[in-house]
């Protein structure tokens, strides 16, 4: 089974930021067939570091679009928006680039160029075609088909790849590498552990849990949460986003309602709040409680006590 996965993924060639066919990318299995339910989870990396965005990257008309401000600031560029002109201005190291909503024509240092697809607004965020945008700022763009990631290289120093602990299952290591956040300050980083699902549905099922906390350019913290069934054939995988609220001895993650980035094995209609407390001088975490809303029904809060330990990576 793994040989088939490696053969197919090895055949992917990064020739452009276009959508891959379903058969060419599938990180999870059902009856030895590589598959996914709602599209590969796209991510963005700048010089090797994961970029947290509150609006997910997406592929439109065969081109990859990214939320402009988050990616621009990760590239050390400054951004301004003129709503009356629908104009996005980007500046970096003497380069000036101007994009207009709905227009394929854009300008770099006064020179007109044509984008592959016009910028647009999604959930209050400006989405730009990444290849045109990054190249306008003198950066290189690669498509990592194996991990469904847009990799941008600015010429700056590259991030150090994480050392993945040996107790993380081999078929989940790529996901940890994909979303990995280095521990730059207290409450920012990557953690992993296990917990026993104690909800009325599927009670007693063991889950691997990974979560990644980033600090965005605006100072807000952003979480990606991955829950993986350790027991179901082919596994069940859910990746969702959440918002962080800091506390004196830890933080809580409020899962975004229906904020699923990816799912395999079915989707549910609940969200929840997870409370974590810092351990070992802030290095590790203890999950002490989980409040869930609306599991398979009306949004009635249900609280479950936990005592689950999570180790930090890095």
User: What gap in Å lies between CA 234 and CA 38, rounded to an integer?
Assistant: 16
d(CA 72, CA 127): 11
Average pLDDT over residues 63-92: 91
CB 129 within 8 A of CB 150: no
pLDDT tens digit string along 218-253?
A: 788 888 988 887 765 456 777 888 888 887 778 777
Backbone φ, ψ for residue 228 (5° rounding): -130, 125
Task: Give the mean pLDDT of the chain.
Answer: 76
> 100-129, pLDDT tens digit by residue?
999 999 999 999 999 988 999 998 889 999
What integer is the mean pLDDT of 164-171? 87
Q: What is the pLDDT of residues 171-211, one digit of tens each?
A: 788 889 999 999 988 889 999 988 776 655 556 677 888 98
pLDDT reading at 271 higher than 70:
no
Q: Which residue has the higher pLDDT, 226 or 32?
A: 226
This prediction has a pTM of: 0.79
Q: In which element (H, E) is residue 8 found?
A: helix 2-10
| Average confidence (pLDDT) over 154-171 | 91
Which residue in this structure is represented by tokens 């940890």?
176
pLDDT of residue 47: 96
Per-position b or e across 259-268, b if 16+ CB within 10 A of its CB: bbbbbbbeee
């Amino acid at each position: 089974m793994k040989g088939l996965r490696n053969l197919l993924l090895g055949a992917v060639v990064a020739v452009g930021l276009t959508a891959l066919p379903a058969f060419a990318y599938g990180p999870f299995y059902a009856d030895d067939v590589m598959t996914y339910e709602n599209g590969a989870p796209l991510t963005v990396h700048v010089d090797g570091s994961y970029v947290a965005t509150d609006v997910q990257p997406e592929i439109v008309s065969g081109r990859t679009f990214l939320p402009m401000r988050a990616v621009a600031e990760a590239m050390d560029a400054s951004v301004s928006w003129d709503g009356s002109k629908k104009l996005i201005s980007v500046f970096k190291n003497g380069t000036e680039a101007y994009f207009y909503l709905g227009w394929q024509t854009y300008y770099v240092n006064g020179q007109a160029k044509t984008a592959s697809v016009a910028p647009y607004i999604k959930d209050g965020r400006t989405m730009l075609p990444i290849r045109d945008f990054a190249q306008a700022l003198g950066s290189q763009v690669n498509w990592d088909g194996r991990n469904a990631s847009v990799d941008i290289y600015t010429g700056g120093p590259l991030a150090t790849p994480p050392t993945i602990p040996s107790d993380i299952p081999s078929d989940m290591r790529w996901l940890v590498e994909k979303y990995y956040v280095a521990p730059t300050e207290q409450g920012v980083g990557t953690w992993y552990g296990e917990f026993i699902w104690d909800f009325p549905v599927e009670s007693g099922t063991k889950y691997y849990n990974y979560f990644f906390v980033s600090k965005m350019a605006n100072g807000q913290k952003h979480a990606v949460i991955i829950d993986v069934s350790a027991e179901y054939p082919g596994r069940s995988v859910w990746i969702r986003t959440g918002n962080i609220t800091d506390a004196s001895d830890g933080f809580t993650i409020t899962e975004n309602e229906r904020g699923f980035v990816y799912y395999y094995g079915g989707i549910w209609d609940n969200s929840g709040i997870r409370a974590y407390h810092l351990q070992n001088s802030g290095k590790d975490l203890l999950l002490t409680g989980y409040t869930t809303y609306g599991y398979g029904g009306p949004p009635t809060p249900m609280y479950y006590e936990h005592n689950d330990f999570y180790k930090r990576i890095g």
